[in-house]
């Protein structure tokens, strides 16, 4: 096994370039190194101008998501050994504007996320004197999987619908909406359904399933969306068959 490996890194410096270019770096190959280690080596030892995001280095913050050999990955959890001895190509996440080098502009996601109200909505809070809102382990398990989302945006980079339709709400936002819909403490499902039952919401998804395939936390956004579609369809049939029950 060679003691070095090549990284082909996308560079984009808007003050001097009109299009992204590729720059190749040779870094030490160590079996325990992940792609983020190699990028930090470049930043510290070879080229301090390289820009990229990272924070926790533990697969929790979600900020180091990039395209690695064409696949959306958390670079803190993607080992160089999986690609050696071939070169590793590192690019910014697809479907997002590039700010600089490997840094993307995520304003579109941040603008859409509050629309699904990803927090517990209550019509009226009970008095503190009545104690906490209790849940059984089974009730927690109902939504726990969807609560694991770290907003890394890998699912958006993998989603062909989001790439084609900028109005599509996107897999992470819809999965987070479902997380709160399934929470027994929440009473905001009607508000979220009004928002997500539009074409740019759940019905825009064609169930390709790539969002689930790339999710590092096994959230299953595709499953959340299909489950949401079933709920929406049942609500429509109920309103059609029993219109007097509509509020």
**Is residue 240 domain-shared with residue 118, that is, in the same domain?**
yes
Per residue in 48-102, pLDDT (tens digit) is 999 999 999 999 999 999 999 999 999 999 999 999 999 999 999 999 999 999 9
- Residue whose pair of structure tokens reads 């590192």 in the numeric block: 90
Q: How many residues does the chain have?
A: 247
| Rounded Cα distance, 150 and 94, in Å | 18
Average pLDDT, the chain: 93
Do 208 and 114 sit in the same domain of this protein?
A: yes
* pLDDT tens profile 200-244: 999 999 889 999 999 999 999 999 999 888 887 777 666 666 665
CATH number of the domain bearing residue 139: 1.10.1060.10
CA distance 218 to 77: 14
CATH of the domain at 44: 3.10.20.30
Q: What is the pLDDT of residue 152?
A: 97
At residue 198, the pLDDT reads: 85
Total number of domains constituting the chain: 2
Shared domain check, 77 and 127 = no
User: How many percent of the chain have pLDDT more than 90?
Assistant: 85
| Helix, strand, coil share (%) of the chain residues, nearest 5 | 40, 15, 45
pLDDT in tens, 12-29: 999 999 999 999 999 999
Q: Are residues 141 and 39 in the same domain?
A: no
Domain span at residue 173? Answer: 107-245
**104 three-state secondary structure:** strand
Same domain, residue pair 233 and 195 = yes
Q: Are residues 131 and 94 in the same domain?
A: no
203 exposure class (CB count in 10 Å sphere: 0-12, 13-18, 19+): middle
Q: What is the pLDDT of residue 239?
A: 65
Domain co-membership, 199 together with 100: no
Q: Tokens 């849940």, residue?
A: 135
pLDDT tens digits, one per residue of 96-154? 999 999 999 999 999 999 999 999 999 999 898 999 999 999 999 999 999 999 999 99
């Amino acid at each position: 096994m060679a003691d070095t490996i090549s990284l082909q890194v996308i560079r984009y410096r808007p003050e001097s370039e009109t299009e992204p270019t590729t720059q190749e770096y040779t870094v030490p190959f160590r079996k325990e190194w992940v792609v983020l280690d190699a990028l930090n080596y470049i930043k510290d030892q070879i080229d301090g101008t390289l820009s990229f995001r990272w924070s926790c280095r533990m697969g929790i913050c979600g900020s180091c998501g990039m395209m690695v050999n064409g696949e959306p990955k958390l670079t803190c959890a993607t080992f160089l050994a999986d690609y050696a001895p071939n070169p590793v190509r590192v690019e910014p996440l697809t479907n997002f504007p590039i700010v600089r080098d490997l840094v993307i502009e995520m304003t579109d996601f941040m603008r859409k996320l509050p629309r699904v109200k990803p927090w517990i909505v209550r019509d009226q809070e009970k008095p503190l004197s009545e104690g906490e809102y209790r849940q059984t382990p089974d009730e927690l398990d109902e939504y726990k999987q969807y609560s694991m989302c770290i907003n890394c945006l890998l699912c958006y980079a993998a989603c062909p619908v989001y790439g084609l339709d900028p109005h599509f709400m996107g897999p992470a936002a819809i999965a987070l909406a479902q997380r709160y819909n399934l929470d027994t403490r929440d009473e905001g499902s009607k508000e979220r359904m009004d928002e997500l039952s539009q074409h740019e919401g759940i019905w825009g998804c064609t169930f390709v399933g790539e969002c689930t395939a790339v999710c590092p936390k096994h959230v299953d956004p595709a499953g959340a969306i299909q489950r949401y579609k079933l709920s929406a369809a049942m609500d429509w049939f109920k309103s059609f068959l029993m219109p007097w029950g509509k509020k």
